[in-house]
Structure formats: structure tokens, C-alpha cells
Structure 1
Amino acid sequence: MAKSLQEQLLAAGLIDKQKAKKAAKELKKQDHLQRTGQDNQLDEAKAKAEAVRKEKAERDRALNRQKETEAQQKAIAAQIKQLIQTNAIKSEYADIKYQFVDGKKVKQLYVDQAVWDRLSRGQLAIIALFVNPSQKSYEVIPLQIAEKIRQRDENYFIVIAESSHGEMEEDDPYAAYQIPDDLMW
């Protein structure tokens, strides 16, 4: 009489008795599930479990993307804060008030004469530094640093004075009179 495939594999030494018993047990289990009609339920449960697993994996990926975005925003904010703090121009004798507009409010910053001149000519910029969410301070920085900050975050508040020297209207009655640079209002 011919031997079964399982007996032939055992005789050849390709499988051992434990693997043979495990395979036979699995076959009996599958046969039983098919006879009782529970095989379809098992397939449905597997399909549902697979769908839940895929949905969870997609949510995890979305959450990871969100966390990465938040981490990048925090890193950019830290870079901007460091750029401001290391390159801020401090005025030794801050006795002159420089006024600028922040939103709908006119703000003021006390600086010395040299900084005031460079601010009014558009050679320096003023930037808002957020100490905490409800409080911000203003710092004077060079234009190159202001451009680096703009590259990192377009929405950051930066004030650069417009240089209007030499631009006169044609029909201006006071065109012959130059406004002195040191005129204070």
C-alpha cells in the first residue's frame, strides 16, 4: 500500500513528528470549521481585523505627520528666537523714542541716536520677540538677520522703515526744501 505524503516526509527526515502532528491538527480544525459553517465567520473576522489594523496604521501615520510638523515648527521658532537674541542690537544710551506700527497700535522703542538714524534710513529692522503667548518685546536687528527670519517664517512680525530720500513728487511745492535727517517730531 502507498504511504501518504506525510509518512514519506517523516521517513525521509524532512519533518519531525511534532510538525506532522501540528499539521494534522490544523487540517482537522479546518475540516471541522468548514463542516459547521464557521469558516465564513472566521474569514469575516479576519477581514474586519485587517480593516481595523489598516485604519489604525493610517491614523498612526497621520498622527506621526502631525507630530513631525509640530516639532519642525518648534525647531523653527527656537532658531528664530536664537537668531534674535544673539544678533539683537542693544542701545547703550536709549534716550530717543522710535515709533512704529504693530497692527493697529503705535508702539515705541527707546534707542540711541546711531540706532535711530539707521532705523529711519531702513538699514535696521525691528522684530517682535514673544516672551510668552500674551507678552512680546521688540528688538532691533540687522537686515540680513531679518531676511533669514523671513525665510524661516513668512508671518513673523518685522518692521523695516521705508527709505524715502530722493523721492519727490513733480508738483510738490516744497520740493526745493530738503527735510533734515535729524528732524524729530
Structure 2
Amino acid sequence: MSKQKLSLQEQLLKSGLASSAQAKKVQADKRKQSRMQTHNNATVVDEAKELALKAQAEKAGRDRELNQLRHQQEAQKALVAQVKQLIEQNRQRQDPDGVAYRFTDNGKVKTLYLGEPLREQVIKGRAAVVKFEGAYDVVPAEAAKKIGERLADCVIVCFQAQPEAAKASDDPYAGFEVPDDLMW
């Protein structure tokens, strides 16, 4: 027994799912389209294909935006990790029995207890106060500069270091000493 391959149209007609009038109408529409295309050089617009291409382009745009956002988040995480490492490596030891050093952060006065040499370094600009994850630390000025390049809002107090010779020659009050017990 050899079976002949029937087209979908013939199969639908045999099973009774489509009528011969419907089949003739579909064939006539196809002929009209092909004639219009050849005579007018007009292309038949495939709406489904256009919608698929448009959806694909929109998806590609969203994917680009998401990748860019993910890349920015990863870069921010890397900066935070670098700042954390710089602070941990350069942290100066605070002295709970030391002299109080007061500074402002967001309009509030904060206090750190530092040894006298470290306090002088902060005042002279050789050390700086930084804030990271809610904790205040003192680091050398070079480390504070690197931290400021990565996350500027982490550096709370960082004075400009002035050379001693230039400071003494320009200062009209150089001969007047500030009392040791004067602190704010």
C-alpha cells in the first residue's frame, strides 16, 4: 500500500474541517498577492515578522541597559572594597585615654580620643579622619587622598599640610604661641 502525501489543504477538505469555497478563496488571495508583488514591485508586509524584529530590538535595548547597570554596581562594589582595604591597612591606633579631638560630621559634633602625636598630625594635615560603615578612623594624609579619589564622602577631616618654613615666614602671629590647654 502506497500512501500519497496530501497537502494540508487537501487533508482539511477530506476531514471536513474546511469547505471547498474556503480553499478556493485562499488560493485566489495567494494569486492576487503574488500578482501584485510582481506587477507593482510591491513587497507584502509581514506584520508578524516586523513585530518579532521590533520585540527583539527592544529586548536587546533592555539587556544593554541591565548590563550597564550591573557593570556600574560591580564598579561601585569594587570601589567600596578598595576603600575598606585602604582604611584597614592604614588605620592609626586610637587612644581611649588620649586627648579628645572634636570635629563635625553632617552638622553634628563628633569626638575621637587620640594620642597627642596623632592629634598633632591631624591638625597639621599629615593625617585625616575618615568615616566608613559608620565608624571613624584616622589614616595618613596620603591614604586619605586615595580614599577621597574613590569615595569623596568618606573623608571627613583632612587639612592641607603646610611646609613649616613657609608657614613661619608668612604668619604675622608666628611669635605668639597658642596655649596648650586651648581646645574646643
TM-score (normalizing by structure 2) = 0.67
Q: Which residue of 1 aligns with 2:14?
A: none
Q: Report the identity percentage.
A: 33
1:4-25 CA-to-partner distances (Å, cap 9, x unmatched) read xxxxxxxxxxxxxxxxxxxxxx
1:161 maps onto 2:164 in alignment: no
The Cα shift of 1:40 comes to: 4.3
Aligned partners of 2:132, 2:125: CA distance in 1, in Å? 20
Equivalence for 1:90: 93
2:148 paired residue among 147, 150, 153: 150
Q: What's the offset of the Cα at 1:84? A: 0.5
**How has the CA–CA distance of structure 1 residues 161 and 183 changed in structure 2, closer, same or farther, with 3 Å as cutoff?**
farther
CA distance in 2: counterparts of 1:176 and 1:115, whole angstroms: 24
Q: Secondary structure at 2:84's aligned position in 1?
A: helix
Aligned CA RMSD, in angstroms, stands at 2.9
> What residue identity is the alignment partner of 1:155?
D
- Is residue 35 from structure 1 mapped to residue 31 from structure 2 by the alignment? yes
Matches within 5 A, 1:12-27: none
Report the alpha carbon displacement of residue 76 of structure 1 after superposing the two structures with TM.
0.5
5+ residue gaps, structure 1: 1-30, 131-135
C-alpha contact (below 8 Å) 1:89/1:140 kept by paired residues = yes
> Following the alignment from structure 2 to structure 1, what is the Cα–Cα distance between the partners of residues 69 and 127?
36
Structure 1 pair 93/156, CA: closer, same or farther in 2 (3 Å)?
Answer: closer
Question: Structure 2 stretches of 5 or more lacking a match?
Answer: 1-25, 34-42
- Determine the C-alpha separation between the residues in 2 that align with 1:72 and 1:52: 30
**1:103, distance to aligned residue in structure 2 (A):** 2.0
> What residue is the counterpart of 2:107 in the other structure?
104
Report what 1:28 is aligned to. none
- How far residue 175 of structure 1 moved from its aligned partner, in angstroms, is 6.7
Distance 1:161 1:151 in 2: 16
Q: TM-score, normalised by structure 1?
A: 0.67
The one-character-per-residue Cα deviations of 1:25-65 (angstroms, maximum 9, x if unpaired) are xxxxxx9683386x946x11101100010010011001100
User: 1:53: which partner in 2?
Assistant: 56
Superposed displacement of residue 124, structure 1: 0.4
Q: CA contact under 8 A between 2:147 and 2:155: conserved in structure 1?
A: no
Q: 1:178 maps to what in 2? A: 177
Count, aligned residues: 145
Distance 1:34 1:62 in 2: 43
Report what 1:118 is aligned to: 121
